[in-house]
């Protein structure tokens, strides 16, 4: 049923992703209003609420979910809490936008999908990279055959680790709270983006890791600090994915090798898209499509809540990335280390 009222948003968890993305994102969307935030750090929650003009502050996320002043929630808490919070939210009649990874197991993801379907509630995963204008433009170029049939690819998403994003983000290094290491953290970004860009589904052939390094606090840097994966897509494209917390800078690059040429996608600094045709000298630098800038992820979520339209990033998208992650961890656990 079409719902045209103002969608009232509650944000659960007030870490850096909420402060830098979710809260400012929703604050720019017409048709919604931020009405509640939740954090166990009450002073921080009150400051954040004042900054974004949010009237209600909760310490307990259950109280926020029980509020009749909230229609939909954005969940930005540590990974292992996504499932219980999202499940309770749907049971309370709320629509849900949940940070990636959607959950930390495929079984949890399947449960959320089923409950949301029965309850007729929006369940959308925060796979934000597919809303990047460069990613959207690159998808259209690949789809119309700019480089012909995509035969192979290589991708790299690496940076200095979670503490470069938030010095207090120690939960990333606790598998009980994070569900894993760099594969669980960065894998969803690349796996979902590849599925979107290629319009295809992949299986993970193999994965291997660099064990966690000693941090400045003397604790392990998670179960793995760098992960390399080999993927094969249903239509035949094969390629590698590198995910890392040990780079000295931010790298976010995709290369696609096709029957007619090569396309590179750069989501860090530099030209966002470069195309080189096979047999031709020089490179092309396609401009970003004007319509690739809208809607934003947050506009799309609010529109789905208001109109009943299906999300372009449903729970099934989150499930598919978790299937690859679980395949990766099975590969890692089963692989013997060969001395060199």
Q: How far apart are CA 125 and CA 94, in angstroms?
A: 15
Q: Which CATH number fits domain 7-126+296-314: 3.40.50.720, 3.20.20.140, 3.20.170.30, 1.10.3720.10?
A: 3.40.50.720
Mean pLDDT of the region 315-325: 98
Q: How far apart are CA 68 and CA 164, in angstroms?
A: 38
> Per residue in 127-145, pLDDT tens?
999 999 999 999 999 999 9
Q: Give which of 328, 65, 129 is closest to 75, Cα–Cα.
A: 65
More confident residue, 292 or 221: 292
Residue percentage of the chain with pLDDT more than 70:
94
Mean pLDDT of the region 39-68: 97
Q: How far apart are CA 98 and CA 18, in angstroms?
A: 11
Mean pLDDT of the region 256-284: 95
Where does 130-293 sit in CATH, by number? 3.30.360.10
**What average pLDDT does the structure give for the chain?**
93
Residue spans per domain, the chain: 7-126+296-314, 130-293
Is residue 181 over pLDDT 60? yes
Could you give the maximum distance between any two Cα atoms of the chain, in Å?
64
């Amino acid at each position: 049923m079409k719902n045209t009222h103002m969608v009232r948003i509650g944000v659960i968890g007030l870490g850096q992703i909420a402060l830098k993305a979710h809260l400012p994102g929703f604050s720019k969307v017409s048709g919604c209003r931020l009405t509640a935030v939740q954090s166990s750090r009450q002073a921080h929650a009150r400051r954040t609420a004042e900054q974004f003009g949010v009237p209600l502050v909760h310490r307990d996320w259950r109280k926020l979910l029980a509020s009749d002043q909230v229609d939909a929630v954005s969940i930005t808490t540590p990974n292992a809490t996504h499932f219980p919070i999202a499940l309770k939210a749907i049971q309370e009649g709320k629509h849900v936008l949940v940070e990636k990874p959607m959950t930390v197991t495929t079984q949890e993801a399947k449960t959320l999908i089923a409950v949301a379907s029965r309850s007729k509630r929006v369940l959308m995963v925060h796979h934000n990279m597919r809303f990047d204008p460069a990613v959207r433009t690159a998808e259209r170029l690949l789809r119309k055959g700019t480089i012909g049939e995509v035969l192979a690819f290589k991708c790299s998403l690496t940076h200095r680790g979670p503490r470069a994003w938030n010095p207090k983000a120690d939960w990333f290094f606790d598998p009980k709270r994070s569900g894993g290491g760099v594969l669980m953290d960065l894998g969803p970004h690349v796996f979902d983006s590849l599925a979107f860009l290629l319009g295809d589904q992949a299986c993970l052939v193999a994965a291997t890791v660099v064990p966690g390094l000693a941090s400045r606090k003397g604790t392990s840097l998670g179960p793995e600090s760098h992960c390399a994966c080999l993927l094969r897509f249903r239509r035949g494209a094969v390629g590698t994915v590198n995910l890392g917390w040990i780079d000295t800078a931010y790298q976010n690059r995709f290369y696609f090798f096709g029957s007619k040429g090569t396309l590179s996608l750069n989501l860090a600094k530099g030209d966002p898209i470069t195309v080189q045709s096979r047999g031709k000298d020089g490179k092309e630098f396609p401009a970003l499509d004007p319509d690739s800038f809208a809607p934003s992820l947050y506009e799309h979520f609010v529109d789905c809540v208001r109109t009943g339209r299906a999300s372009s990033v449903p729970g099934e998208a989150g499930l598919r990335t978790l299937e690859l992650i679980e395949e990766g961890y099975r590969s890692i656990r089963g692989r013997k280390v060969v001395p060199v």
